[in-house]
Chains A and B, each alone.
Chain A
């Protein structure tokens, strides 16, 4: 038995070391080596179909890697209760959450929160400084609050307040726009925050945040 165990272990190690046989190396897209969940762990594949195999997000689905576990759990609950009623949430996440046990949701949340996040960097780099000023200081004369007080100095989030740094420009912009269209009204105070933002300010904030990773955030 010991011998078989060793053989399996070395097979696993050699597969891990060589990676998928058909994958083309791509320097600009270094896939994070996922610490795979245990065989009896949560059904990660059901999430990664849309959120990406390394959970960095795809066109319609936001990055989950590095997101706060308590936030993911809270959102799953909001999908289940239909409080988060954004169009894509209704289309995809309502069904997902309806069939997900809260314990499984918690395991998935913890799993994804531990994966290393990578910045989407898909915003307009020319708006970086304007976005940073808005994030750090708000615009007191226009009743625009700062983001930094809740989301943190590096947009890293805390507890059930989400990490925003490095999420995709398209996702960040869409969320802020959809609050202004009346979606997800229970996520207070975000509807009240977004209400004061002009389209140009939303553009600047989403652009700035999309570039933030651990390195750029501290600058």
Chain B
């Protein structure tokens, strides 16, 4: 209870300072919470304190270890509407582009164990990831995402990603990311995802979802 009283006192002080600040300048209060550390904590509420992702009603993807170039690109695309997501569109527009780099670097440096949870055929997934499916025009995932699935530059890390998130992404490519992306790296994924069956998608997701 002492801790609780202490916290209440802190709130009172914070509230009093906020009121005083508001008296002097409305913009000082409006800008509160927009700092890099505030925004990182805001991301972590949903994506997990260690950035390992979270199984909510929807799968919330892992950010830990993700390539900074990829995170920054996605934030830009969410904010501009190029990538469609009703939640992340608003989130990205609420973050100053000047802080994208620091947020991306923070999550890139994290390395918790994967959450796991995929139900696909891991052996089949390993085969598709390493060698692709030549008869279905599916290239090897490893060719771009790297043999360890850590990605590089704008190409995302897949290792440790939530399998159900990967399944959703690979099954829903065109509606979510395919629009207006001709010429972007994302366009490469359109024919690839369309040539995978549901069982093959589940297999790849289960395999890479377990990689560190």
Chain A interface residues (CB < 8 Å from chain B): 136-143, 145-146, 148-153, 157-159, 161, 181-183, 188-189, 192-193, 196
Contacts and interface: CB of A to CB of B under 8 A. Distances in A.
The winner among B33, B38, B45, B87 for most chain A CB atoms within 10 A is B45
B107 to A, nearest CB: 16
Nearest to A190: B45
Contacts of A158: 56-57
B55 A142 contact: no
B165 to A, nearest CB: 12
Contact of B45 (A141, A153, A182, A193): A193
A219 to B, nearest CB: 17
Contacts of A189: 44-46, 49
A141 B94 contact: yes
Contacts of A159: 55
B46 A140 contact: no
Interface residues of B, number: 28
Interface of B: 3-4, 7-8, 30, 33-34, 38-39, 41-42, 44-46, 49, 54-58, 60, 86-87, 90-91, 93-95
A159 B164 CA distance: 15
B3 A149 contact: no
Contact of B46 (A149, A152, A153, A182): A149
Q: Say whether chain B's binding surface is mostly helix, strand, loop, or mixed.
A: helix
12 contacts: A137-B86, A140-B90, A141-B33, A141-B34, A141-B94, A143-B33, A149-B60, A150-B54, A150-B57, A158-B56, A183-B4, A189-B49
Contact of B57 (A136, A142, A143, A151): A151
Contact of A138 (B54, B56, B90): B90
Given A145-B42, A148-B87, A193-B45, A182 B57 contact: no
Contacts of A182: 3-4, 7
Contacts of B7: 181-182
Contacts of A152: 57
A157 B90 CA distance: 23
